[in-house]
Amino acid sequence: MRTLVRFFAFVGLLLALVVSARAAVTAKYRAYGENVLHVYNWGDYIDPALLERFQEETGIRVVYETFDSNEEMLAKLRQGGTSYDVAVPSDYAIQRLIREGLLLPLDHDRLPNLRYIDPRFLDLPFDPGNRYSVPYFWGTLGIAYRPDRVPFEIRSWRDLWSLDLRGQVLLVDGPREVVGIGLQTLGYSLNDADPAHLEEAKALLDTLVPNVKAIVGDEIRVLLAQDEASVGVIWSGDAKSVLEHNPSFEYVIPEEGSNIWFDNFVIPKTARNVEGAYKFINFFLDPEVAAQNAEYVGYATPNREAFALLPEEVTSDERFYPPEEVLRRLEVYLDLGRDAVARYNELFLEFKMHRK
């Protein structure tokens, strides 16, 4: 009987705790009221502690959704089914959103922390004058590899074709990235839309197939960190994460050049909480916030004051903050127009089918 009493007492206490916790959460969201902000960003691309801090400081509840590619993000914004207040597209996608009239022009007076951004990352070709976007992170596309398992030093895209790398190479699942490797290996621009050059790049990529172990998305970090492959074409922030978990890897930016990309905050034209969107963007432009976010995410910050707050071992690492002579070899993806983008997608799909 005493055991039964203790059991019901325990169940009662458990229910009380659950009800109390639910009441606390409900009270918290009630405090936020109807002030909700819908944010659309890449996966694992923001410090959750900073999201919590923003909510507590502003009383704005953040509804956070993620996407895996610019193409997925573009399709969602075009459909207009969900009204996002802040999104984080990349350079060429921003250019396309501007051209299609899907973004609100920004009032820089409402973003005082914009003054902390390094001028090198402002006024770029995809958004002159930053009329529609402000920098969030930037990085490169390169090659992560294990020097102790690859019998030569990888320095170029061409090295991916080595017979020593049979079945060892992971590729990112992106048409611009993979077709771009073929183009740059042939000496062409990443923004080349010449049909003959694209076919030439595709033919070259087909000869890479024996070396390709898989074409993957975000899981490339885990696969490399767990030694599932010795070589991976990967974005710099993801490479930094791999190196932190598996110091046997190295990261190189190919000598032919590569892509330098920029992810920026934008406010879609369908935004319902524009005031909250400005507060959110300005919050993440704050140097102390941007530095904490950069340490969490691992990508390079365009915030000059935040850069100064980061540990020296981070900012002096030229693999992730490359010097000017390397930056000059890098290209920003430009919006090539609907027809050329469709051709890139077709060639990439054919390349993937060729592997089967």
- What is the Cα–Cα distance from 356 to 353, expressed in whole angstroms? 5
Of 351, 126, 322, the closest CA to residue 240 belongs to 322
32 marked among binding-site residues: no
Pairing of β 330-331 and β 169-172: unpaired
Residue 104's CB: how many other CB atoms inside 10 A?
15
Cα–Cα separations (whole angstroms), residue 319 to 186, 235, 243: 24, 11, 11
Residue 149's CB: how many other CB atoms inside 10 A?
15
Residue 108's CB: how many other CB atoms inside 10 A?
13
Provide the Cα torsion 287, 291, 292, 294; round to 10°. 130
Of 141, 70, 123, 113, the closest CA to residue 280 belongs to 113
Residues forming the annotated binding site? 92
Residues forming the annotated binding site for spermidine? 92
